[in-house]
Amino acid sequence: MGKGNNIIPNGHFHKKWRTLVKTCFNQPATKHHRKKNRTMKTRAVMPRPVKLMRPIVQCPTVRYHKKMRRKGFTLTELKVSGLNKKFAKTIGIAVDARRRNKSVECLQTNSHRLKDYKSKLILFPINKKKLKSGDAREKEIFTQVKGEIMPVRHPAQVKAKARVISETEKKFSAYITVRTARADARLVGIRAKYVKDAAESPDEVAKDKKIKK
């Protein structure tokens, strides 16, 4: 019932309900079609791997920095490893021209990763009559790589065992340590000026100390 002299609620919310409902009864069939498409793609690119080779790129911020992002290699990383942008795309390497290297460690890691991939790479000749250096022969038998190419293995983290707290750790105060560090950072200029004045005129500094006392 409505309160006071208000209208009685009579909302017709079931109007055209059947036309707005969406059902998904084709999930098993869709799963079958996806598997069929993957198989067709694998056969089409055989013996080339289906997935591309990706670099080691960490996510930003402390919260996500342990996770890896699915990006492509930068142009600088390709140049250091001795590869061309167009040629890298043809041999299964992901290229991202927008990404930039912000650290030397990341550049070195991904360049070594590319060189390692390049050393294990097997190239098939475009023209069987004209073989180039590094091309594979027909007599050799190869198998197609499944899954990720050169997956990144995270080292197992060793958990610290429980132990007795030492006396030094008991006396340690995080609050006092942080406040002292903030004070030292804030008073750098004042203390440097005081040392400079004391070196130039030690008599005036001694008088100031006496007056303060």
Residue ranges covered by each domain of the chain: 27-120, 167-212
What letter represents residue 148's amino acid? E
Distance CA 109, CA 164 (A): 40
Mean pLDDT of 180-209: 84
Intra-chain end-to-end CA distance of the chain, in Å: 82
Distance CA 181, CA 121 (A): 53
HSE-CB for 74 with a 13 A CA cutoff: 18
The 3-state DSSP class for residue 152 equals coil
- 88 phi and psi, to 5 degrees? -65, -35
| Cα dihedral: 169, 174, 180, 184 (round 10) | 100
Mean pLDDT of 82-91: 89
Contact 57, 103 (CB under 8 A): no
pLDDT at residue 139 greater than cutoff 60: no
What letter represents residue 151's amino acid? P
The model's pTM: 0.56
The 3-state DSSP class for residue 26 equals coil
Q: What is the percentage of the chain residues whose pLDDT exceeds 70?
A: 87
pLDDT at residue 135 greater than cutoff 80: no
Query: 187, 94, 97: which is closest to 148 by C-alpha?
Result: 94
> Considering only 25-29, 121-125, 179-183, 201-205, which range has the smallest mean pLDDT?
201-205
Most confident of 16-20, 66-70, 92-96, 140-144: 92-96
